[in-house]
Amino acid sequence: MLAVQQQAAELNTALGDAVASRLGITGTDLKCLLLLLRRPRTPRELAAELRLSPSAITSVVDRLEKAAFAYREPSTSDRRQVLVTAVRERAQQAVDLYTPLSARTAEVLAAYTDDQVATLHRFAEQTVQVLREETDRLTER
């Protein structure tokens, strides 16, 4: 099981690199863009979620702005803060590159019963939690 999980992790990284390459951005830029698709964030939030320094996140946001994937705007709740927002029309290109994967994954899941899918879902959620905790443990300073 661990060997399959390792292979899945490696392929997930390779897929992300391929998507980023198609979009003309880096893998880190893509990770940031995918976060921004969920909701706008401050540079500080992005840095924390991506585990990057403030100067590194500034470079990422600069590249995303230059490539027209994101823009900075003043926060409506605190004018001293800046929010980074995805340009939906442009960011849709990233979503479109992942659409075939989503469709094929749905086909795979269709072969399982509802109970089996629920078990797989619980396993995936628990695995994500373990990954989050281990990442936190290894990145503590």
CATH no. for residue 69?
A: 1.10.10.10
Q: Is residue 134 domain-resident? A: no
119 domain residue, yes or no: no
The pLDDT value given to residue 1: 84
> How far is it, in rounded angstroms, from Cα 40 to Cα 33?
10
- Find the domain containing 74 and state its range: 2-110
The predicted pLDDT at position 141 comes to: 57
Residue 131 located in a structural domain: no
Kindly state whether residue 132 falls inside one of the protein's structural domains.
no
Q: What is the pLDDT of residues 30-54, one digit of tens each?
A: 999 999 999 999 999 999 999 999 9
- Mean pLDDT rounded to a whole number for the chain: 95
**Of 139 and 26, which is predicted with more confidence?**
26
Determine, yes or no, domain membership for 128: no
Sequence-separated contacts (24+) of 9-18 with Cβ below 8 Å:
15/101
Per the structure, the count of domains in the chain is 1
How sure is the predictor about 139, in pLDDT bands with cuts at 50, 70 and 90?
confident
